[in-house]
Amino acid sequence: MASLLAERPPPRLFVSPEEDHDGGAGAGPTLDGILSGAWEGLAAHAAVACPLCAGEMRPRYGAGATPLGGRCADCGTSLDELPPRPAVALRTRGCGV
């Protein structure tokens, strides 16, 4: 297991100023791009790289065939679908509506 971890390069989420050759904007991957890519892979029923540790994140399923998120086998990080807010939570008390 230790040799497997040693072979995997750490994820590159940030670019240092020394590596920033284009002057700033768009220098590296964005958080939106990283998470969107992970969600796209999970939605396609594929294992993806964990956004936190680059380990293997596998799709998680509920009662249906559609993935509800993913969980990393190495660090335990999970990406979960946000549940819809129930209509009861949207009502305001005392307004008579």
**Rg, Å, the chain Cα set:** 19
pLDDT given at position 29: 84
**pLDDT score of 45 more than 90:** yes
User: What is the rounded average pLDDT of the residues 5-34?
Assistant: 61
Token representation of residue 70: 């993913």
pTM, full prediction = 0.59
What per-residue confidence (pLDDT) applies to 9? 58
User: Residue 52: what residue type?
Assistant: L
How is the chain split into domains, by residue range?
2-90
Residue 1 has pLDDT above 90, yes or no: no
- pLDDT tens digit sequence for 20-34: 555 456 667 888 889
User: And the tokens for 42?
Assistant: 């999970």
70 strand-pairing partners: 59, 79
